[in-house]
Every structure is written in structure tokens, then in C-alpha cells.
Amino acid sequence: MNITTLQSKLDFIKELYSNDEWTDRECREDILAALEECHTNIVHAFGKSLCRLLDGEHKPSIEAVEKVVEKFPSALSYEDEYGCIPIAHISNCEQNYDAIGFEYIPTLAKEGVKHNVGGEHGRGGVLSACWNGRNTLQNICTFSENDIASLCVLKELRKMGLLVKSDIQEYGLLSDQIVYLSGPIKERFEYLTDWDPDVLLNIDAFKINKFDGDCGDLEPLLRAGFKHFPNIGGILFLRDSRGNTVLDLAFALDLKFARNGADGFQDIFYILHEILGPSSDYPILHHVCTNAPEHVHKFATKFWWAYHLKDHNNRTLHQAVLAAGPHVMNANSLLFASLTDDQLLTRDPLTTLYPFAAMAVGEHAKLGDIFDRLRRQPSVLERD
């Protein structure tokens, strides 16, 4: 039986009962039950068809999808054999590396909101989990290798209010993805970190200590850190819950994969030099001296040109170290052996203290060092 014949018969039944030409109530109930079962089967048919948008075997227009879900909204909640609704099924990137059917996700989400798909706070299904335990947003942000298509979906969902800033950290949209940062999810990573840079501060989320890949995959993470947090040395000196800095973890990766030359640590310095080359005018030595003085020698030989730069506070290298306190000063003692007379007579741009006075701040100050500087330039006491 074709659709036209069925429609004709349904019209006949409707007219028959509307005109009271057929009054058998039991027959009427049987017909309604049959129609309800037919409707359920049609909903399932369209639900399965929506799931098959992932296969790319049929590509209806967006308008056609809107018409179907408007007429059969329950199809949006159809569950496949794994319990995934269509929007989650399509986003299942572990099988959909090419993001096939992703262009339909915003439409399914928009219509899903109208019909409470995924529950009151399910945002039309984008928070519904697939068989892999990840929701639609997490799937879009992770395994798909079609970065551009995935990014377009994220932008559209954001415009619709179905992707919000807090999702990035709440659902770990960038967690455990280091191996993909320099390739498949690069655009998504930059987009999400530009939106919420604070996600970079949670070092544990990236699981660098468990990373089993190349140190080079850290490059986008480090670059984003310097972009958004230049005044603290990017994320290079932030610590994870075990007390390891990102720099320590990067050094460990270099050693693990033996990608170092005779002096070691070649990969991480190559990456940092690409990010912080001479043209960047970035005062990397300021941050190394104040945050990781044990690595000063390694950095000084690679970034010698940064010695004479000033930081965001307009401080020279020795002024930044002095301002960091006695502990940091003591760890960089060689730096003060080379202070010139002009430097001894120059005030700190923020505290306005001369070097000898800056060295006197703190309970661990060394009086001998203070008097040594005064003996070299006693005239500093006569200055305003």
C-alpha cells in the first residue's frame, strides 16, 4: 500500500465517523489503537533516519529536517540500541572522525529545546550522553578530526545560548586532549581558550603528567598560556596538584623520549624559542629567575638576548629579582655581582627603592650584602 492509498482510506474513515454513518465504538477504538501504533512506528522510522545522518548516506536539507521534527518531535528523543538520542548519536566522534552530519546538530538542538529533549536542563539534547559517556558538547570538542566543521557547530551553539562559558571547565571540553592540540582540535582549542583563558590555569585537567606523547604537542598549550597570561610567565611555572611545574613536566617529556642533544632539553627550548623569539621582546629571564632560578643557566644560554629587556612593570632583570624578595635574591646571587654603578643608583619603578634598600626588605635579608652595595655607592644615601 502506498501513502496516497493510505491517506485516502484514512480520510474515508474520518468522514464515516464524523457523519455518524458508522457508530461501532469498539471498531473505532481498534482503529485508533492501530493508528497510534502506526504513529509510533513512523516516529521510530524518522528517529532512526535522523541517526543515519551520521552515515552521510542521505543528506536532506536543513529545512526538511525542521519539517520532520516539527511534525514528529518525538523522533528527537528516539534512542538507538545504545540509548543515544539522534543528536548524541551524530556527535559520536569516536566513529565519526569526519564530523559527518554535524551541520544538523544546531537544528536538532534548537527543535529539541522546544520539546524539552534531554529534560528541563538538557538544552535540547546537547547535554545528553552517548554510549561513550560523553555528552554532545564533549564529543564535538574532542575526537572529530574535522576541526573547521566542529568549530562551526560550537559557534552556532554558542549563539543559540546552548554552549556557555562555564561548560568549558564544568564538562572538561579540553581535558586530556594534549595529543590533539597541534593537529585535529587546534582551532577548537584556540577558540575555547580565547573565550575562557582561565581553563589554562587548571594544569591537572590537561594530565600532562600522564601524557605519553611528544613534547612538541605542548606547543599550543604553552603558546596560549603566554598569550593570555604573559605577566606570570604564561603557564610555564604553574604547578599541578603534585607540585610539578609545567616546565618540569616538559623537561621530563624531553628526557623520556630522549629527544635531547648533548646538553639535553632540546625540544622544549625549540618550542619556547618559536614562541618567544627575539622579535617577541618577551622578558623570559625575569620569570625564570623569579620562578625557577635552578634553570637560569639553561635559559640564559638560549635566551641571552632577553637579559636587557624590561618586564610589564618596567623593571630590569635585577630589579624584578630584588622585588621578589630575599629567597629569590639568594638564588640569583651571581646576578648582583655584576651590578653596575648606574644600576646601584637607579630606583625601582614601582617601589622607588634603591637596590640596597630593596635588599633590606624581608626577614631573611643579608646585612652584609646591603653594606657591600652601600660601600660601592655611598652617595646613594645623599639622593632624594
pLDDT surpassing 50 at residue 260? no
**CB of 145 within 8 A of CB of 184?**
yes
pLDDT (0 to 100) of residue 164: 96
Q: Is residue 344 part of a domain?
A: no
- For the segment 243-261, the average pLDDT, to the nearest whole number, is 76
* SS3 assignment, position 135: strand
Q: Is residue 79 part of a domain?
A: yes
Q: Is residue 20 part of a domain?
A: yes
- Give every CB contact of residue 342 below 8 A, 6+ residues apart in sequence: none
Q: Which domain holds residue 121?
A: 1-164
pLDDT (0 to 100) of residue 262: 45
- For the segment 19-29, the average pLDDT, to the nearest whole number, is 84
Q: Is residue 239 part of a domain?
A: no
Alpha-carbon span 352 to 287, nearest angstrom: 21
Higher pLDDT, 163 or 54: 163
Per residue in 115-139, pLDDT (tens digit) is 999 888 899 999 998 887 889 999 8
Q: Is residue 30 part of a domain?
A: yes
Per residue in 182-227, pLDDT (tens digit) is 567 888 999 999 999 999 999 888 877 777 767 778 888 999 999 9
Supply φ then ψ for residue 104, to 5 degrees: -90, -15
What's the Cα-to-Cα distance from 94 to each of 138, 144, 182, 322, 356, rounded to whole Å? 11, 7, 19, 53, 62
User: Which residues is 245 bridged to in the sheet?
Assistant: 239
- For the segment 240-249, the average pLDDT, to the nearest whole number, is 91
Per residue in 323-356, pLDDT (tens digit) is 887 777 777 777 777 777 777 777 888 887 767 7
Q: Is residue 328 part of a domain?
A: no
Q: Is residue 21 part of a domain?
A: yes
Higher pLDDT, 375 or 34: 34
CA 177, chain centre distance (Å): 9
- This prediction's pTM: 0.82
Cell 652617595, residue located? 379
CA 351, chain centre distance (Å): 38
Q: Is residue 352 part of a domain?
A: no
Per-residue confidence band for 76, with pLDDT thresholds at 50, 70 and 90: very high
Number of domains into which the chain is organized: 1
Whose CA is closest to 373, among 342, 340, 344, 335? 344
